[in-house]
Structure formats: structure tokens, C-alpha cells
Amino acid sequence: MCVSLTKTVIAASLTLAAVVAPLASAATLHVPDSIEISSVDGQAVTPLNRINLTEGDHLITLKYNDYFSAYADDSGDWVSSKTLFAHIKVGDQPQLTLTTPAIDNAAEARAFVMQPRLQLTDNQGLSDTVELQSQAAVLSQLLASR
């Protein structure tokens, strides 16, 4: 009887947590397939196209990775960035979207990787440019702020 009650309480707790967790997040961040988010605030996340974020400032670790093929029989060209970091401020918006500029070919993708910037747009259409930083730039900022 006690084991059955314990299992019921655990199952109810897990169900409640699954229902309440999405309600606690302030925003859902959507990203294109070419952006792979690997962590949020130092916590590893499964690479998804959308991440739930709470209100406040967040440091997002990501990579740009896309494939370009000029012709059907072309072997194609992968363009990837090193690990990049984005500072995102989340308010009470329910939806946020990170987008790259229009990138139509490998040359444009390489230019993007050299100076990576994303657009952060909320559900009301307001947008802001997010400068992506290298690991060295983030560490330099942290050391300079001390």
C-alpha cells in the first residue's frame, strides 16, 4: 500500500512539473535549422529549434552550420562557425525568434561567419541585432568587468 501511494505521489509530481514548467518560462526562442544551440547559461541543452527561456539575461552558446549546393550533381559545401555566444535579454514576450541575414550561397555564409550577427524578433515584430561573440571575446569581457 505504501509503495503504491509513493508511486502515485511521484507520478502526480512529475505530471504537475511537466504542466507548470512551460508556464514558468517567459518566452520560447525559435531558431532556424542552420543555428544549433548547445547551452543556455552554461547548462547543456539538446539541440532543438526552440528553447524555453525564463525572464532575464541569458548567455546562449551556439554554432552556425549550413550546407550549400550549386548544382544537383555538386558535392556541395558545408559552412560552419566556431562556437559563438549570444547575450539575450528576455522580457515578458511569449515568442522570440533568432534569424540570420539572408544567406543564399557558401560565400555569403562565410562572410556571415566572419562577422556573425543575428536578428532577435519578438511576437510583436520588434527586432534587435544580436552581436555574436567568440569565446575569447566573452572571456575578455568577463575579465574586464572585474
Strand partners, 125: none
- Reported as a single tens digit per residue, the pLDDT across 96-111 is 999 999 999 999 999 9
Lookup: cell for 88:
539575450
Distance of CA 29 to the CA centre of its chain: 7
Cell 566556431 belongs to residue: 82
- pTM, entire model: 0.74
Intervals of the chain under pLDDT 70: 1-25, 72-74
Lookup: cell for 125:
515584430
Amino acid letter at 17?
A
Strand partners, 117: 131
Assign residue 92 a region (left: φ > 0; alpha: ψ between -120 and 50; beta: otherwise). alpha
Strand partners, 128: 120
